[in-house]
Amino acid sequence: MISLNSLVATAMRVGLTFGIAGAFYLQPYRPMMFVGKSMEPTYRNNSIMLTEPVQQNTLKHGDVVVINMDSGPIVKRIAFVPGDKIIQVYTDGHWVDLVYVQPTSKAHLVHLQWREYVVPKRMVYVLGDNQEVSYDSKEFGCVSTSRISRMLVDQRPFDTFCQAKRPRIKSDYRFKS
């Protein structure tokens, strides 16, 4: 026969367990493990970072966000927000984004077919910090802000942790010849 004290002690343990689990679930922070090298050297492969919910209307350049893709969540940095312009060059039958160019003059583009692409409303253009291996907007295009659910609590700026600084692209787009 089970004693009343044993039953009460078991009920208290179960209640305490559910209370702690509920408190953890209700708090806004969630751990996220980086798998892959697309955000190195800023964030290392297999490192764990905390994320928090994000409101789409607060997204800005440089934010590191979690994007819910069809294949699963990915972590990238927002490079361009709605209204920003990206130069695209037509080559081999499709448009290629020129997101890392040194500004100087458009004269270099005279013999190329090019266009300015404007990031649409409620969309962002995301890039990984490690451009050699990153699968990002250069491959899949702009991402709807509705796919962005979380952002990293630890928002390290890209150029603080890297030797090579990424050039900022201005809306007037001038290219080095």
At residue 93, the pLDDT reads 82
95-128 pLDDT tens trace: 878 776 554 555 555 567 888 889 999 999 999 9
**Torsion over CA of 81, 144, 78 and 36, rounded to 10 degrees?**
-160
First CA to last CA distance, the chain: 89
Distance of alpha carbon 91 from alpha carbon 130, whole angstroms: 24
At residue 23, the pLDDT reads 61
DSSP character at residue 62: T
Compute how many other C-beta atoms are within 10 angstroms of the C-beta atom of residue 173.
Answer: 18
At residue 64, the pLDDT reads 92
Domains and CATH numbers, the chain: 30-160 (2.10.109.10)
Residues of the chain with pLDDT under 50: 103, 160-177
